[in-house]
Amino acid sequence: ILNVEQSPQSLHVQEGDSTNFTCSFPSSNFYALHWYRWETAKSPEALFVMTLNGDEKKKGRISATLNTKEGYSYLYIKGSQPEDSATYLCAPSYNTDKLIFGTGTRLQVFP
């Protein structure tokens, strides 16, 4: 059973704070890691797809890094805004397109 862990489970920050989450996953047979942003009542929004060790992706104020050898990824949000409030899911895949989702990090940004 593949175990994908994300930490922390929930996070409350003030507007303007920077924050980061961790996704840990088995590195054996790793293929790709997906990060999703999941807002209330919306379908998950794909943020990044990362495949190579050392990859760093950026989208606006959000960035992510990947370490495939040790099996972890960090997601960073710079200057959090209330609209960043969402659940952030990581989902690695292992040689298939089937995604193994973590339980998510629920971020709430207070004005």
Using CB under 8 A as the criterion, which residues of the chain lie in contact with another protein when the complex forms? 9-10, 34, 36, 40-46, 86-87, 97-99, 101, 103-104, 106
The residue type of 89 is: L
CA distance 108 to 14: 8
Q: Is the distance from CB of 75 to CB of 20 less than 8 angstroms?
A: yes
Q: Output 45 or 56, the one with its CB closest to another protein.
A: 45
Q: Output 59 or 69, the one with its CB closest to another protein.
A: 59
Q: Output 12 or 69, the one with its CB closest to another protein.
A: 12
CA distance 98 to 75: 21
DSSP-assigned states of every residue in 53-89? TT-EEEETTEEEEEETTTTEEEEEESS--GGG-EEEE
Provide the minimum distance between the beta carbon of 55 and another protein in the complex, in angstroms, as a whole number: 18
Q: Output 63 or 85, the one with its CB closest to another protein.
A: 85
**C-alpha angle 59-64-69 in degrees, rounded to nearest 5:** 150
Provide the minimum distance between the beta carbon of 41 and another protein in the complex, in angstroms, as a whole number: 5
Provide the minimum distance between the beta carbon of 62 and another protein in the complex, in angstroms, as a whole number: 16
Provide the minimum distance between the beta carbon of 86 and another protein in the complex, in angstroms, as a whole number: 8
